[in-house]
Amino acid sequence: MYDAAALNIDFWRDRPVFVTGGTGFLGGWLVKRLVQAGAEVVCLVRNWTPQSEFVSSRLIEQVNVVRGDLSDQALIEKTLGEFEIRTVIHLGAQSVSSVALKNPGATFDTNVGGTWKVLEACRRTPAVGQILIASSEKVYGGGLDEPRTEDSPLLARSPFDVSKACGDLIAQSYAQNYGMPIVVTRNGNLFGGGDLNWQRIVPSSIRSILRKQRPVIRSDGSRIRDFLYVEDCAAAHMFLAEELAQREELAGEAFNLSSQTRLSAREIVQKIIEATGSRLRPELLGETLPEPTQNILSLSKTHSVLGWRATTDFDEALRRTISWYESFLAPPSVRRDILPLPNVA
């Protein structure tokens, strides 16, 4: 049974963990939690944003950084062997839907090719004991009103969504055909501090409101999403790795992760307005976006098989998120120092 307050220090202490996407939004919070648990973290890093949580919170000083990218299977395999990696958490991806629409080929190379190269490197490294592949609720596509279960068909159509669905299926193929200890996570719509993709509704709205500007909703505001606080998602990935180490029957399974907080774009912007004490009104552009009108996840399997539930109250999570952006967007004279990259292998 999941206990949010219990961090399994005995499992993670000195454990060699390989993380892709560690410089990203979810990755930064996951790496922070791994470091706090005493893990020996190795991050594959192609490039980085100096303002990211990974750099600005000095996490980069506490992990081993291997320079390279997901296209280099030989480097990944070498890294797994040299650091005697026991746990692999694959978060690395091109995760911006608009970029995928403009450049689908590069997105498929990264999200599909990168996934099978990580998995193939793991297949050739038997010492790896747990492999987590981060997928997305977007693999289910649109057109259904009822909550998606893990057995729902993957009906993705847009380039980003299809790329994640392909990676999802590749992971299941490796688990089934090679007996590899792989679990897929299908994450809800993540929010929290550290998200520097200003096209997303939460960071863009918070930034606009803090700058006394009207928040912009590109659609008509009716699209419903299943939200999940990023720190809950990071904790869930660690819990899943712990469970996979003890329960071989989890190999090859996929699990939906969400808080079951279901809000439309208009509703979440209104919550941000209220939490900041603003009187601004959102501007609705009414654009037709290449996204499903509704994505709702069923957590029946996650609850019954894992006993996992998100534990951070939504209003508290939103308060923490706004606080993070208030600090981040403050004038440079009062912001944290941005540190250069050390410890690069």
Average pLDDT of 244-269?
Answer: 96
Q: How many domains does the chain have?
A: 1
Decide if pLDDT at 268 tops 50.
yes
pLDDT digits (tens, 9 = 90+) for 142-176: 766 789 999 999 999 999 999 999 999 999 999 99
In-domain check, residue 290: no
- Position 95 in a domain: yes
Whether the pLDDT of residue 340 is over 80: the answer is no
Whether 322 is covered by a domain: the verdict is no
pLDDT of residue 23: 93
Residue 323 lies in a domain: no
SS3 sequence, 254-291?
Answer: EEEECCCEEEEHHHHHHHHHHHHCCCCCCEECCCCCCC
**pTM, entire model:** 0.92
| Token output for 127 | 């010492």
Residue 343 has pLDDT above 50, yes or no: no
Q: Is residue 211 part of a domain?
A: no
| 337 has pLDDT over 90 | no
CB atoms within 10 A of CB 82: 13
Mean pLDDT for all residues in the chain: 91
Domain CATH for 83:
3.40.50.720
Assess if residue 275 is contained within a domain. Answer: no
Q: Is residue 91 within 8 Å of residue 26, measured between CB atoms?
A: yes
Is 70 exceeded by the pLDDT of residue 225?
yes
User: Is the residue at 306 inside a domain?
Assistant: yes
Confidence band for 3, pLDDT divided at 50, 70 and 90: low
Domain that holds residue 250: 9-190+228-259+295-312
Please state at what angle helix 201-210 crosses helix 265-276, rounded to 10 degrees: 30
Kindly state whether residue 344 falls inside one of the protein's structural domains.
no
